């Protein structure tokens, strides 16, 4: 019974990827706190939503079907980025 639970947990974790990074201004490289990051699947469904901390840093664990992220913050132009094998993401945003 314990062996089965361990296998199921390990299988679930194998399909996930941990990402981390920072959101900052394109000009000045200032951190953008409380930006919203939505993790989306191929159909555009939101799988997870996280916010950056006061230093613009974030992290999330994306399931295998996650393909893009949308980044938004009032006063800045929203961004959409494809998730790749690169696990550390630096996002630059422009003011509106």
Q: Domain ranges in the chain?
A: 17-93
* Mean pLDDT across 55-67: 94
pLDDT at residue 1 is higher than 50:
no
Nearest to 94 by CA among 12, 1, 23, 9: 23
Cα 31 to Cα 33: distance, rounded to the nearest angstrom: 6
Please state, in angstroms and as integers, the Cα–Cα distance from residue 27 to each residue in 30, 32, 33, 45, 94, following that order: 8, 12, 16, 31, 8
The answer to whether domain 17-93 has CATH 3.60.20.40 is no
The answer, yes or no, to whether residue 47 has pLDDT greater than 80, is: yes
Distance CA 46, CA 35 (A): 16
What's the pLDDT score for residue 46? 96
Residue of 89, 67, 58, 94 lying closest to 79 (CA atoms):
94
* pLDDT interval class at 22 (50, 70, 90): very high
DSSP 76: B
The CB density around residue 54, as the number of other CB atoms within 10 Å, is 9
């Amino acid at each position: 019974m314990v062996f089965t639970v361990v296998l199921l947990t390990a299988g679930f974790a194998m399909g996930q990827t941990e990402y981390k990074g920072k959101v900052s201004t394109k000009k000045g490289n200032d951190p953008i706190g409380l930006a919203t990051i939505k993790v989306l699947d191929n159909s555009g469904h939101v799988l997870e939503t996280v916010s950056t901390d006061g230093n613009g840093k974030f992290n999330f664990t994306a399931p295998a079907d996650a393909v893009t992220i949308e980044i938004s913050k009032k006063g800045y132009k929203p961004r959409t980025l494809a998730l790749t094998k690169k696990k550390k993401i630096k996002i630059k945003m422009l003011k509106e």
